[in-house]
């Protein structure tokens, strides 16, 4: 009886030892994989820390100081939240820049994405001439914002601009004006960014439309749903993840827009086209008054907080609706 029990327990013990050895080898292999994964991503993490994390932390730290060049050195004086209070309550230029930037982001979220969906739906529906329009609407996306700004600045010039030349040639010279030299120039910049970026939204939404199950749309059509009802109750709910991502991307891009404004108007006339980033750059590098690097750092910190809160709110609003639809 004892011999039978020993013979029975020996294979069981051997099996446990085998499983233990296999688990140990698997654990060692997992550790080696994690080690090699860290080795490969370490250079990227180092660069990210040097060029993203460190500048952000340094900017936040500098926002609590008055930093003025004193020859080869700089003078730093702790001022606490004074710069934040000045930016939020006593700097009308910063407040105007905030208003312009938020208007721009709102315009782009509503108009650019809406127009991008419209163009993508036209191409997806294979309407007459869709191949030509697909190329024509995508071409502006290939141009850099700086080049777009230079071209449109030349077109909208008061003297020799294409727009004024065309108006003069058709007898409407009374309508000619310095289009980028008036306070309404901000609307021209809105239109220019819409023209240059709508192809980006069109391509991404079109890819989502092409990947959408066609049988769902066919079933809605068989049930008697109109085209608008198909869009509202079938297509848009299926596109919600793409729209959420595009909304966040658009919001981030427009909240830090700089290049187009700097090339075309440099924030003028009289600050009417100023954005937060152009105002920060102006105060940091081109300011003719009391030069202090602490104030641009404070404005950058405020704007970082605003963008973070904005992204969180957008995700909650749009994804909250998606979760509600699932129930």
List the CATH number of the domain containing 106: 1.10.3720.10
Answer yes or no: do 225 and 117 share one domain. Answer: yes
Residue 76 lies in a domain: no
Same domain, 90 and 23: no
Spell out a b/e string for 25-63, using b for 16 or more CB atoms within 10 Å of the CB, else e. eeeeeeeeeeeeeeeeeeeeeeeeeeeeeeeeeebeebb
Tokens, residue 104 = 């721009």
Helix (H) or strand (E) segment spanning residue 68:
strand 65-70
CB 64 within 8 A of CB 81: yes
Residue 61 lies in a domain: no
User: Given this model, what pLDDT does residue 325 score?
Assistant: 45
Total domain count, the chain: 2
- Same domain, yes or no: 19 and 152: no
Neighbouring C-beta atoms of residue 17, cutoff 10 Å: 10
Q: Is residue 73 part of a domain?
A: no
Is 167 a domain residue? yes
Task: Please indicate, yes or no, whether residues 88 and 42 belong to a single structural domain of this protein.
Answer: no
38 and 97, same domain (yes or no)? no
Q: pLDDT (tens digit, 0 to 9) for every residue of the chain, 327 residues total?
A: 545 554 555 555 545 555 555 555 667 777 888 888 889 999 999 999 999 899 999 999 999 998 887 766 778 889 999 999 999 999 999 999 999 999 999 999 999 999 999 999 888 887 777 778 778 888 888 888 899 999 999 898 888 788 888 888 888 888 888 888 888 899 999 999 999 999 999 989 998 988 888 888 878 888 888 888 888 888 888 888 899 999 999 999 999 999 999 999 988 888 899 999 999 999 888 877 667 889 999 999 999 999 999 999 988 888 755 544 443
* Residue 106 counted as domain residue: yes
Same-domain check for residues 28 and 97? no
Domain check: are 199 and 249 in the same one? yes
As a dihedral over the C-alpha atoms of residue 231, residue 234, residue 236, residue 237, rounded to 10 degrees, the angle is: 160
| pLDDT at residue 11, rounded to an integer | 53
Residues 29 and 176 in one domain: no
Same domain, 89 and 43: no
Residues 115 and 262 reside in one and the same domain? yes
Residue 116 sits in the same domain as residue 184: yes
Q: Is residue 86 part of a domain?
A: yes
Residue 157 falls inside a structural domain: yes
Residue 53 lies in a domain: no
Nearest one of 185, 196, 156 to 275, comparing CA atoms: 185
Q: What is the pTM of this model?
A: 0.81
Say whether both 23 and 149 belong to one domain.
no
Q: In the chain, which ranges are continuous DSSP H helix?
A: 2-48, 54-62, 82-89, 92-107, 113-124, 130-138, 145-155, 162-169, 185-210, 214-222, 227-230, 236-255, 259-264, 276-281, 294-326
Print the domain residue range for 31.
Answer: 2-47
């Amino acid at each position: 009886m004892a011999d039978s029990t020993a013979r029975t327990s020996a294979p069981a013990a051997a099996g446990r030892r085998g499983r233990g050895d296999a688990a140990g080898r698997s654990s060692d292999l997992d550790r080696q994989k994690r080690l090699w994964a860290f080795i490969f991503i370490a250079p990227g993490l180092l660069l990210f820390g040097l060029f993203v994390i460190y500048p952000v932390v340094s900017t936040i730290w500098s926002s609590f100081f008055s930093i003025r060049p004193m020859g080869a050195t700089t003078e730093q004086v702790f001022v606490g939240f004074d710069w934040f209070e000045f930016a939020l309550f006593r700097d009308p230029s910063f407040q105007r820049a905030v208003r312009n930037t938020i208007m721009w982001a709102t315009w782009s979220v509503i108009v650019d994405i809406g127009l991008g969906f419209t163009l993508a739906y036209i191409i997806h529906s294979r309407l007459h001439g869709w191949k030509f329009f697909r190329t024509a609407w995508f071409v502006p996306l290939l141009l850099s914002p700086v080049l777009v700004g230079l071209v449109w600045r030349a077109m909208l010039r008061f003297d020799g601009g294409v727009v004024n030349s065309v108006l003069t040639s058709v007898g409407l010279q009374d309508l000619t004006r310095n289009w980028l030299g008036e306070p309404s120039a901000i609307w021209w910049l809105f239109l220019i960014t819409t023209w240059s970026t709508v192809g980006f939204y069109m391509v991404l939404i079109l890819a989502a439309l092409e990947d959408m199950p066609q049988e769902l749309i066919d079933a809605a059509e068989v049930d008697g749903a109109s085209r608008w009802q198909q869009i509202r109750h079938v297509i848009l709910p299926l596109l919600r993840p793409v729209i959420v991502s595009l909304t966040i991307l658009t919001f981030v891009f427009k909240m830090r827009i700089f290049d187009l404004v700097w090339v075309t108007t440099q924030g003028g006339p009289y600050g009417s086209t100023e954005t937060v980033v152009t105002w920060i750059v102006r105060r940091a590098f081109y300011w003719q008054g009391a030069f202090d690097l602490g104030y641009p750092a404070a404005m950058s910190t405020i704007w970082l907080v605003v963008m973070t809160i904005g992204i969180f709110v957008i995700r909650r609003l749009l994804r909250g609706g998606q979760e509600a639809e699932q129930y």
